[in-house]
Amino acid sequence: MGTPRLSSTLPGIGVRYDLTTRENRRLSVVPHRDGHRAISAYRKDDPDACAFSARLTAEEGATLIDALMPACHTPNLLSTTDLGLVAERIELSASSHWNGCLPGETRMRTKTGVSIVAVLRRAEAIPSPTPDFRLAGGDTLILIGTREGVKTAAATLGRE
């Protein structure tokens, strides 16, 4: 309880993250590829009934994060949005064309300007995957690049 978990991939939208609080309240956040965030809270007596939902711009989402985690904010951390960059999680399906390929074989950086900066596989995080690392279905790739580049990369990685 209290730990966000990946709930589901929403095709063409992104990923929905769910959190169940210690008070057994369910919250969800959906970061959309266009930069906005949808945050929802569900009724305690009916966890499938939405009691509140708000659409936040990327800037409003960043402000909310700063309000929730002020101790994590240091001048040494880069804000990718200030630099015109976005970070996105893209899940690789089991039937993906890229399943079993090396990251370099995607030509992601050459074609889109986007870098695969980490891979989440099961309970393991693999930062800066090495050139001999092989992608696998179910991997969640952490990408960083321009919004348009990440959108193109997501379409490329979704190829079956």
Q: Which residue has the tokens 């985690």?
A: 69
CB 135 within 8 A of CB 116: no
Low-confidence residues of the chain: pLDDT under 50: 1, 73, 76
Distance CA 33, CA 36 (A): 7
Rounded to 5°, angle at Cα 49 from 59 and 24: 80
Q: What is the pLDDT of residue 1?
A: 45
Distance CA 152, CA 17 (A): 23
Q: pLDDT, tens digit, for every residue of 102-134?
A: 999 999 999 999 999 999 998 889 999 998 999
Pick from 123, 103, 121, 112: which is nearest to 152 by CA?
Answer: 112
